[in-house]
Amino acid sequence: MKISHHLDFMLASILAVATIIFVFLVYNRTIVLSFIVGPFRFSHWLGIIGTVYIAIATPLFVVLKRRFHADWTRIVRFHMFGNMVFFAFIAAHFAAQVGRPPSNYPELGTGLAMFLAMALQVASGFTQRFRSQRAAFKKIFNYKTNMFIHASLVMVFYLVIVFHVLHGLGLT
């Protein structure tokens, strides 16, 4: 296995742990992201930026990957690290919402569904990219199914986000 693959694994693992710590600190309001910037709270801006990035970068990845002479490693790095960073933005928006005080608690619905789908998407992307080559592991973990779950979950993102934004903006 190449050294760059080990470095990617380490970097992705550090990013995942940093995201979990960051999200926890936003949830218990040690880090406050609810200040207003223009028409929205900062935590909403993070949700919007993360969503726009993933909505554009995913089809871009699908096209780039299929180009003739495509550099697979570079393109997958862009896919993996880009999505992990912007998922952290979305996770901050999620944590700010579920950490709201009881007097002002949101009605959980489309946002919660999307967060669970995206967390599973990141986790299945991780297991796909860093799959073990050991024969025993390959027997108990089916990578084709994992890839199917990973690629299919993107539909939840594109379908549910429409209803979430309409609801968030008070239009439904």
Q: Which residue in the set 23, 27, 47, 88 belongs to the binding site for ligand HEM (CB under 6 A)?
A: 47
Phi-psi region of 29 (alpha: psi -120 to 50; beta: other; left: phi over 0): left
Q: Which one of the spans 20-28, 31-39, 113-121, 134-142 is the region binding ligand HEM (CB under 6 A)?
A: 113-121
Q: Which residue in the set 54, 88, 92, 99 belongs to the binding site for ligand HEM (CB under 6 A)?
A: 54
Q: Which residue in the set 128, 143, 146, 156 belongs to the binding site for ligand HEM (CB under 6 A)?
A: 128
114 binds ligand HEM (CB under 6 A): yes
33 binds ligand HEM (CB under 6 A): no
Residue with Cβ nearer ligand HEM (25 or 151): 151
For residue 40, the surrounding DSSP H or E stretch is strand 40-41
Residue with Cβ nearer ligand HEM (32 or 106): 106
Q: Which residue in the set 26, 27, 46, 110 belongs to the binding site for ligand HEM (CB under 6 A)?
A: 110
**Tally of CA atoms within 13 A in the half-sphere of 154 that contains its CB:** 15
Burial 45-75 (b: 16+ CB within 10 A, else e): bbbbebbebbeebbeebeebeeeeeeeeeeb
Q: Is the dihedral of CA 89, 90, 95, 97 positive or negative?
A: positive
Helix, strand, or coil (residue 145) = helix
Q: Which residue intervals of the chain are DSSP H helices? A: 3-27, 42-65, 72-98, 110-129, 135-140, 143-152, 154-168
97 binds ligand HEM (CB under 6 A): yes
Binding site for ligand HEM (CB under 6 A): 12, 44, 47-48, 51, 54, 58, 62, 65, 76, 79-80, 83-84, 87, 90, 93-94, 97, 106-112, 114-115, 118, 121-122, 125-126, 128-129, 150-151, 154, 157, 164-165, 168-169
